[in-house]
A and B are shown apart, each in its own frame.
Chain A
Amino acid sequence: MDINLQALFAQLLVGLINGSFYALLSLGLAVIFGMLNIINFAHGALYMMGAFCAYFLLNVLGIGYWYALIIAPIVVGLFGILLERTMLQWLSGLDHLYGLLLTFGLGLIIQGVFQNYFGSSGLPYAIPEELRGGINLGFMFLPVYRGWVVVFSLAVCLLTWFLIERTQLGAYLRAATENPTLVRAFGINVPRMITLTYGLGVGLAALAGVLSAPINQVRPLMGADLIIVVFAVVVIGGMGSIMGSIITGFALGIIEGLTKYFYPEASNTVVFVLMVLVLLIKPAGLTGRTA
């Protein structure tokens, strides 16, 4: 078989970038599920809001990419906290499925509102000046921005892992996931932790949105199909482990990239097919814990 290395590496890079979005989004879903017992169907819509936030910051207020990386996750995170305080918190004690239905509805509302004002076409977002151009690595041409997205996402994922698995705050969080009543008995404000966790998960989605704005354009439906793929990623990886989510996310992105090169017809479906295979071979998901 004649392999065009240049094209192969290009697709691998696209795969890695998609993988970083899968990782950031499935990480947020896992953290939220751990604390709230809710699968956040609105995650795709909030990812889209992150991208739009960056777009508004640049085009309305003239605030550039670097500030958007910090401001957009905070703004969308605060919006998430508002949703949690006003709606999601009333679902505790109800069947998990109600959380899925409620957040599905929220996702529809958010996407519908943006579609009304911005249609379905994409709005361009320029790559920041510092990250324009590319480097010739000899075997391939690496656009600087794309390399940056992969490296930065990986760093954020690892930072989140460190926060949850290696710090005092993370220890409280893990304890509250296991047994919220007992942790409350120790005088820790668990409801506030739940709210902040939702804010954190949503903020990660918004951050992914900002990162994707210069690559994928800013579109109201940019998160709608993505979230379904991320669900499949979550089913494959299981939501029990933070590191598991990160690795599964990147790995599936790479596999998708390879499929795009070797058998492009299946590139849309490969993640779903892998999900079927994993369910047949190891029903509990790759990293264990069943729900």
Chain B
Amino acid sequence: MTSITENAMPVGRRAIRDEMIAFGIMTAVLMALPFTGVYPFFVMQGLCFALLACAFNLLIGYGGLLSFGHAMFLGTAGYVTGHALKVWGLPPELGIIAGTAAAAALGVLTGLIAIRRQGIYFAMITLALAQLMYFVYLQAPFTHGEDGIQGIPQGHLFGFINLSNPTTLYFVVLAGFLFGFLIIYRAINSPFGEVLKAIRENEPRAISLGYRTDHYKLLAFVLSATLAGFAGSLKVFVAQNASLTDVHWTMSGEIVLMTLVGGLGTVFGPVVGAFVIIAMQQYLAGFGQWVTVIQGAIFVICVLTFRRGVVGEIAHYFKRSL
């Protein structure tokens, strides 16, 4: 049986060099984007989803764990950050910390439950847990149910960076994205990342080598949840609202789709995939439910013919690691 990631990852100096060059290009493009006249809201939204997809990819691409409930971390962090900013009047930095910490705590709780089963069951359990959280947020008073938390103030980061200025906000979100991205990159290239890949390829063998695989899986899950939460907290400053859409299972599906399109188990795939899907939603917004149909069709096409994803195919063609 082949592994969920068909993207072979050569390690070594050349791989690191390729990835560094790609990282440089990505950063340069993202730095230049606001000056090209692209709608900044769109790019910022894309960056938040890119970080979210990267966090999800850490689990599926390197740990072989398919989480079908990552929306719960996005939504939880969003609600907590939104509540902290609007009701408690906390400054942005503390709001982000509160939201991310809430997602991390939820990650510990759900991770402890979900890692008790593998493979297909793991996916079903995470989906069910996310649905549980959806109903909790539907009924909890502080989320304002169907209305969500609206008109969240953006405030001044560290007291002097005005986040209601779109260009300033853009660079803050970009910095947050790059920070999260580098944490993930560091994690997958560390000894911890190597053990995670070993678990993905053959868990019984990793156990027989003396690794306590449950600890590694839980750590990966919590790290992924925390960074997904961080993305959710950043998104609050962009969208200025927190709503049930972010906790619904369709959102979890979109996260999976972004990563699948970009390339499971590639470093840059989730970023590309996130922008592809966000752009698609933007341009097809007028087609109503056909967007759902198209998303479903992309799932089907990707699984049947395009399992490496955009970045995976490019990397495979040039025999590079991206």
Contact = CB atoms under 8 A, between A and B. Distances in A.
Interface of A: 33, 39, 87, 90-91, 93-98, 100-102, 104-113, 115-116, 225, 228-229, 231-232, 234-235, 265, 268-269, 272-273, 275-276, 279-280, 283, 290-291
Given A101-B256, A231-B128, A279-B117, A106 B300 contact: yes
A170 to B, nearest CB: 24
A280 B113 contact: yes
Contact of A90 (B125, B128, B304): B304
Best-buried of A87, A97, A225, A231 by chain B (most CB within 10 Å): A97
B121 A116 contact: no
B42 interface: no
B288 A116 contact: yes
Given A95-B1, A105-B297, A268-B135, A234 B124 contact: yes
Main secondary structure of the interface of B (DSSP, over half): helix
Contact of B128 (A39, A87, A93, A232): A232
B303 A269 contact: no
A93 B123 CA distance: 19
Interface of B: 1-4, 60, 66, 68, 113, 116-121, 123-125, 127-129, 131-132, 135-136, 138-139, 249, 253, 256, 260, 288-293, 295-300, 302-304, 307
Best-buried of B127, B295, B298 by chain A (most CB within 10 Å): B127
A108 B296 contact: yes
B65 to A, nearest CB: 9
Given A96-B119, A228-B131, A112 B289 contact: yes
B132 A235 contact: no
A116 B284 CA distance: 14
B2 A94 contact: yes
Given A104-B299, A291-B119, A97 B293 contact: no
Contacts of B290: 112, 116
B26 to A, nearest CB: 26
B208 to A, nearest CB: 18
27 contacts: A39-B124, A95-B1, A97-B123, A98-B307, A100-B120, A101-B256, A101-B302, A102-B299, A104-B296, A105-B295, A105-B297, A108-B299, A109-B292, A112-B289, A112-B293, A116-B293, A229-B128, A231-B124, A235-B121, A235-B124, A235-B128, A265-B139, A268-B138, A272-B132, A279-B117, A283-B117, A291-B119
